[in-house]
Chain A
Amino acid sequence: MRDNGISRRRVMQGSLMAAALAGGATMFGPWKHNRVWAQGAAKPIKLGLTCDASGQYGASGQDDLLGMRMAIEEFNAKGGVLGRKIEWITTDTETNPATATRVAERFIAQEQCAFLIGAVHSGVANAITQVAAKYGTVYMNTNSSAPSEAGENCSRIKFVWDGNGTNFSKAAVRNAVEGIGKRWLLLTNDYVWGHTTAASTKALAEAAGAQIIDNLLVPQNTRDFTSYLLKVQQLKPDVVATAIGGDDLKALRQQITDLRLEERTAWINNQQDWPDIWGAPESLFGVFGTTWYHKLKLPGVDEFVKRWQAAFPKSPIPVPGNVSYNGYMATRELLRAVERAGTTNNGKVIAALEGHKMPAADRMQHFDAYIDAATHQVQQTIYLARRNAKPSDKTDLYEILSQTAPANALDAAAPTKCKLVAMERVPTYEM
Chain B
Amino acid sequence: MLFNLLPHLVNGLTLGLLFALIALGFMLILGLMEQINLAHGSLFALGAYFAFVIATPRLPWPELNQAWATVPLGWRYTAALLLAPVLVAPVGLVIERLMRRTYGRDPLYGLLLTFGIALVLEDAIRTVWGTRDYSLPVPRDISGGFFLLDLIWSRYRFWAAAFAIAAMAVVWVVVERTRFGAMVKAGAHDSEMVQAMGVDIRKLRAGVFALGTMLAALAGVIMAPVWGIRPHMGVDAVVPAFVIIVLGGVGSFWGAVLAGLMVGMVVGLSGAYASEWSLLSMYLLLILVVTFRARGLFGKKSLLEA
Contact = CB atoms under 8 A, between A and B. Distances in A.
Interface of A: 53-55, 58-59, 62, 190, 216-219, 221-224, 226-228, 230-231, 233-234, 247, 250-251, 254-255, 258-261, 264, 275-276, 278-280, 282-283, 316
Contact of A278 (B12, B132, B156, B236): B132
17 contacts: A53-B131, A54-B131, A55-B131, A59-B131, A190-B275, A217-B276, A221-B236, A221-B279, A227-B278, A231-B271, A231-B272, A234-B4, A234-B7, A234-B151, A247-B133, A259-B145, A259-B153
Nearest to B229: A279
Contacts of A217: 275-276
Contact of B272 (A53, A227, A251): A227
Contacts of A259: 144-145, 152-154
A261 B131 contact: no
Nearest to A214: B275
Contact of A251 (B11, B152, B228, B278): B228
B105 to A, nearest CB: 32
Contact of B226 (A53, A54, A223, A228): A223
Contact of B133 (A54, A227, A230, A250): A250
Interface of B: 4, 7-8, 11-12, 15, 126, 130-135, 143-145, 151-154, 156-157, 225-228, 230-232, 236, 267-269, 271-272, 275-276, 278-280
A250 B11 contact: no
Given A219-B275, A230-B11, A251-B227, 9 more contacts: A59-B132, A218-B275, A223-B227, A227-B12, A227-B267, A227-B275, A250-B133, A255-B226, A258-B225
Contacts of A219: 275-276, 278-280
Contact of A226 (B15, B225, B230): B15
A169 B134 CA distance: 29
Contacts of B143: 258
A258 B144 contact: yes
A415 to B, nearest CB: 31
Contacts of B225: 254, 258
A268 B147 CA distance: 24
A389 to B, nearest CB: 19
Nearest to B151: A233
A174 B133 CA distance: 33
A275 B132 CA distance: 8
B65 to A, nearest CB: 18
B237 to A, nearest CB: 10
Contacts of B278: 219, 222, 227
Nearest to B130: A316
B126 A255 contact: no
A354 B268 CA distance: 50
B275 A254 contact: no
A250 B279 CA distance: 18
A58 B298 CA distance: 42
Contact of A228 (B132, B156, B275, B280): B275
Nearest to B267: A227
A223 B135 CA distance: 13
Contacts of A226: 11, 15, 154, 157, 268, 271
B227 to A, nearest CB: 4
Contacts of A279: 132-135
